[in-house]
Amino acid sequence: MISAPWFLDVLRTSGRERTVPYGQSLEFYAHELFDLDAGAIEEFLMMGRKKLAAMTATESPHKI
């Protein structure tokens, strides 16, 4: 199991990943892992990761 604090720390301290055809980025996993975590979504916004925050907030439309 992935540790949420570790995952957020990696996103906070790393740069943007390059787009790789057919590859899944760390942000892909983050938007699924944190889809019900409002605090993490706010943190994504503070990190400047607006696209990640939007993807995460809308991952579970029935929870919006």
62 falls within a domain: yes
Domain that residue 60 falls in: 24-64
pLDDT averaged over every residue in the chain: 85
Q: In terms of pTM, does the model score above 0.85?
A: no
Residue 60 is given by DSSP the state S
2 falls within a domain: no
pLDDT for 2: 52
pLDDT for 50: 94
Total domains in the fold of the chain:
1
CA angle 15, 9, 56 (to 5 degrees): 80
**Three-state DSSP string of 5-57:** HHHHHHHHHCCCCCCCCCCCCHHHHHHHHCCCCHHHHHHHHHHCCHHHHHHHH
4 falls within a domain: no
1 falls within a domain: no
pLDDT digits (tens, 9 = 90+) for 31-58: 888 988 889 999 999 999 999 999 999 9
19 falls within a domain: no
pLDDT for 1: 43
Count other C-beta atoms under 10 Å from residue 8's C-beta: 19
pLDDT for 47: 92
